[in-house]
Amino acid sequence: MTTPISSIDLFASALHIHPDGDVRAAERRMTSSDSGAWQIATFHVETDADVHADYWEMHPEAEEAVCCLTGGVRLCFRATRPGGGEDMVQLRAGSAVIVPRGRWHRLELDAPSDLVSITLRHGTRLEKRTDTR
């Protein structure tokens, strides 16, 4: 299949990179997908609600690159042992973090931001936070 050569609005669509080498513009998926494709998704976010700060997210099949293009965010990691505290990584414009496979995480905004997420969505899980302040 030949992909037409045209501009793609990355704030409206995602790029799906398939194991066979095909790259296609597609609907962004924030939950599990069985397509086998890696997703590159770009977001403009204004509030914590835009980044589901009240949910933990986990990708069991692959690591995730979270990139901050503009603004600033905090990537919070759930404690790995009972009674432990969250780990946190501060992202400023032009920085990224690799979220380990299977690690529960969430975002909080420091400022309106443009973000890029790159991961394999298969098996992605969301879990409502019960530890909210």
DSSP state letters, 53-98: TTEEEE-SSS-EEEEEEEEEEEEEE--SSTTPPPEEEEEETTEEEE
Residue among 44, 8, 43, 33 at smallest CA distance from 23: 8
Q: Spell out the domain ranges in the chain.
A: 14-128
Regarding pTM above 0.85, the answer is yes
Helix/strand/coil for 123: coil
Whether residue 68 has pLDDT greater than 90: yes
Pull the structure tokens for residue 20.
């066979």
Cα(108)–Cα(99) distance, integer angstroms: 15
> What CATH number does domain 14-128 carry, 1.10.10.10, 2.70.98.10, 2.60.120.10, 3.20.20.140?
2.60.120.10
Cα(16)–Cα(21) distance, integer angstroms: 10
Whether residue 133 has pLDDT greater than 60: no
Label residue 16 by pLDDT band (50, 70, 90): very high
